[in-house]
Structure 1
Amino acid sequence: MSRRNHTTELGCIACEELSELGAGKEGWLVDNPSLLCALDTHALALANRSLVLVVGWSDPVSPRVKIHPDLSPIEAEFISAIEWLVFDDIRVIAIGTSRGYLLIYSLDGDLIHRQIIHTTRILRLRVRGTKRDLAQDALAEEVCVVMPGVIARFDGSDIQSMLQRWLQETHARFWDESPKRSLEDSGNSFGRLPYQLWNVNKYGLCADAAITGIMPPPLMEVQSSHRYYCAVTIGEDAVISAFR
């Protein structure tokens, strides 16, 4: 009986640009703790400490995008997390840095947004689909930023609104043939994104965390319009904790 192969090839990401991330060296995918990746429907984002490379794995001739974030050499800042943000037809790359900055880049490599979250390293960026209301089936997105001892939650609708304003401005600049914004203005012209911040270091620093959903208020607590979110953390000592 012939051996069965249950894997199906979906695409190929082989390209010269991968050498900038260490491709060609033995163990470059396994033994490189600074190599990060985020998978989208038709593309893969790979990053090391200073470079993000976006390659399309379903189309071998698709253009490769290189993103070089403006990092602080004085503070030895580096890329510590990456994730895709997808809202309808808008696809962007979110980058977290070791100084606690959240950066959002277009697939053309343009900086859309830059914001400090907390003065500590961003460990993870997580995106989760949620229901807008417990009684409705409408879906929304939320973005969770995980740092040692701190979790930040962004409502996806706020990010989507900001990206729509950016897209409208981009189209207006294209038709008006006006110059691009200066580097000083880029990433800051749409204001700060609101977010909620939780201190979760009661039982020590966390190695990973996630917001798992909305909790109903306690039975003896007065009903209100406030939403209670549940966050689950995994400590550096492997202790699992839940927070409201």
Structure 2
Amino acid sequence: MARRSHLTHVGCIACDEMEELGAGEREGWLDDPGLLAALHPHALALAHSARSLVLVLGWDRDPDPSSPRQPLKIRPSLAADEGHISAIEWLPFGDLLALALATSAGHLFVYSLTGDLIHKQIIHSGRVLRLRFRETKVGSSQDSVASMELCVVLPGVIARFDGSDIQSLLQRWFQEERSRIFENRFQNRNTVDENSYGRIPFQLWNVSKFGSCADAAITGLMPPPLLELQLLLLLGSQVSAITVQLRLERMLRYQHTASPLTCLKDPPRKGEKLTLSPGGTLAAITDSLGRILLLDTQALVVVRLWKGYRDACCLFIEMLVNRDKASSSAYYEHTKGDYCLCLAIHAPRKGIIEIWKMRTGPRVLTIQCPKGSKILQPSTRFVSSTSSYIPLEVFLLNGDSGQLSVLNRSFG
């Protein structure tokens, strides 16, 4: 019997232009800390901070290298005081799609898929560590989006852009582009002064009094009567939860207050990266000692601990558990209740991906993966016309072959 594969081929992004990002220079080039990646259902953006280059790559199901592919190249014209690229993220709003770049000097740039600079503004002085676009859903319908937001993480401040403000900016820009009213204005936009772009309002919280951030995320809105946002911060050897006011009015660079909620200290461990579950109630945190902590973000207690996972990367995934229903009917359509939340742990030193059932369930799957691979997850789910519920998926990029695969939803 043939060995079952737990990966499904999606496409191939291999092209000559990837050499400009360091592809092929050494084994495991995807592990370069200067290389940044952001996945969207239809494209992969790769950027290199030292080379000031962004490639937007589509994929072809035919991995034949002779198949023509024309990746989009974006070369931001960054002045010396604007720093270099330090974070990238997709901004998906239905039919509107743009790419956000942030820099080591606290600037935010938004580009179209044609490489035009849509917007630029400064957020705060300092290196942007992470851009997190998140959509919050209520109910099981794919159209039930309650809110969207962009979280910008710097060592001493956290900024939040409301998705509706970004969406309004993109709608205006694309309408102007179609009408060609401001055609001359767009010809050399990289050289236009920042003030000509206007500003997107955002909220800014100074968290420097709690320590220097390694990573952070907005976990969600606290229940009534508080109705405040909760932030989860990785601060050296501690994990802190703080609350911040979600004001109806969004100011420009006005620093709101942040109040400590609770703190988890565990020296000499230093938190490195965190990833949130879809509902924001769980966080997986990797640390400097090769451990992975599964954290209940509401109670701020560790509910699970894994050891021996240095350089690991974690992403949440939804896997099928009620497979018997599908066998009873060829027309059965899976619903949200057929899936269970799991954690995918990519351990590059072991060359494997492990799938663990949440919260305290067993390891349900171990997948061998090539050296130099990277797991990715889009900020929005892949849309399907054949299913009413799209589960949370994890993708594997093979740095040597350029093949992009998706982890199968079933572990049975």
Q: Does TM, normalized by the shorter one, top 0.5?
A: yes
Whether 1:193 and 2:188 are equivalent positions in the alignment is no
8 Å contact 2:88–2:102 — kept in the other structure?
Answer: yes
C-alpha displacement of 1:131: 5.5
Partner SS, residue 18 of structure 2 = helix
8 Å contact 1:92–1:105 — kept in the other structure?
Answer: yes
Partner SS, residue 168 of structure 2 = helix
8 Å contact 2:222–2:229 — kept in the other structure?
Answer: yes
Identity level (%)? 55
Judge which range, 101-110 or 25-34, deviates more.
Answer: 25-34
Whether 1:71 and 2:41 are equivalent positions in the alignment is no
Give the structure 2 partner of residue 242 of structure 1.
Answer: 241
Give the structure 1 partner of residue 147 of structure 2.
Answer: 140
C-alpha displacement of 1:228: 1.3
Give the structure 2 partner of residue 19 of structure 1.
Answer: 19
Partner SS, residue 198 of structure 1 = strand
8 Å contact 1:92–1:104 — kept in the other structure?
Answer: yes
8 Å contact 2:82–2:103 — kept in the other structure?
Answer: no
- Which of the two has higher C-alpha Rg? 2
Deviation by residue 1:51-76 (Cα, 9 ceiling, x = unmatched): 11000024664531111112123x48
Letter in structure 2 aligned against 1:16: D
Deviation by residue 1:6-62 (Cα, 9 ceiling, x = unmatched): 211110000000000001111353441100000000210000011110000246645
8 Å contact 2:82–2:106 — kept in the other structure?
Answer: no
Taking the aligned partners of 1:205 and 1:169, their CA distance within structure 2 comes to 41
Taking the aligned partners of 1:177 and 1:100, their CA distance within structure 2 comes to 28
Taking the aligned partners of 1:169 and 1:188, their CA distance within structure 2 comes to 18
Partner SS, residue 76 of structure 2 = coil
Matches within 5 A, 1:21-170: 21-49=21-49, 50-58=52-60, 61-73=68-80, 75=81, 77-130=83-136, 138-170=145-177
Deviation by residue 1:146-198 (Cα, 9 ceiling, x = unmatched): 0002100000000000000000110111xx69434343447654521010111
8 Å contact 2:148–2:164 — kept in the other structure?
Answer: yes
Taking the aligned partners of 1:163 and 1:186, their CA distance within structure 2 comes to 19
8 Å contact 2:55–2:74 — kept in the other structure?
Answer: yes
Matches within 5 A, 1:221-240: 227-237=227-237, 239-240=238-239
Taking the aligned partners of 2:12 and 2:27, their CA distance within structure 1 comes to 19
Using structure 1 for the length normalisation, give the TM-score. Answer: 0.86
Judge which range, 90-99 or 24-33, deviates more.
Answer: 24-33
Which structure 1 segments of 5+ residues have no match? 220-226
Q: 1:179 aligns with which of 160, 184, 188?
A: 184
8 Å contact 1:113–1:188 — kept in the other structure?
Answer: no
Taking the aligned partners of 2:60 and 2:228, their CA distance within structure 1 comes to 40
Letter in structure 1 aligned against 2:34: S
Taking the aligned partners of 1:5 and 1:194, their CA distance within structure 2 comes to 47
Equivalent pairs counted in the alignment come to 229
Letter in structure 2 aligned against 1:7: L
Partner SS, residue 206 of structure 1 = coil
Higher RCO (CA < 8 A, seq sep 6+): 2
Taking the aligned partners of 1:116 and 1:177, their CA distance within structure 2 comes to 24
Judge which range, 60-69 or 40-49, deviates more.
Answer: 60-69
Give the direction of change, closer, same or farther, for the CA distance of 1:90–1:67 in structure 2 (3 Å limit).
same
8 Å contact 2:213–2:233 — kept in the other structure?
Answer: yes
Judge which range, 53-62 or 190-199, deviates more.
Answer: 53-62
- Structure (1 or 2) with the greater strand fraction: 2
8 Å contact 1:112–1:187 — kept in the other structure?
Answer: no
Taking the aligned partners of 1:171 and 1:48, their CA distance within structure 2 comes to 31
C-alpha displacement of 1:5: 1.7
Taking the aligned partners of 2:5 and 2:145, their CA distance within structure 1 comes to 39
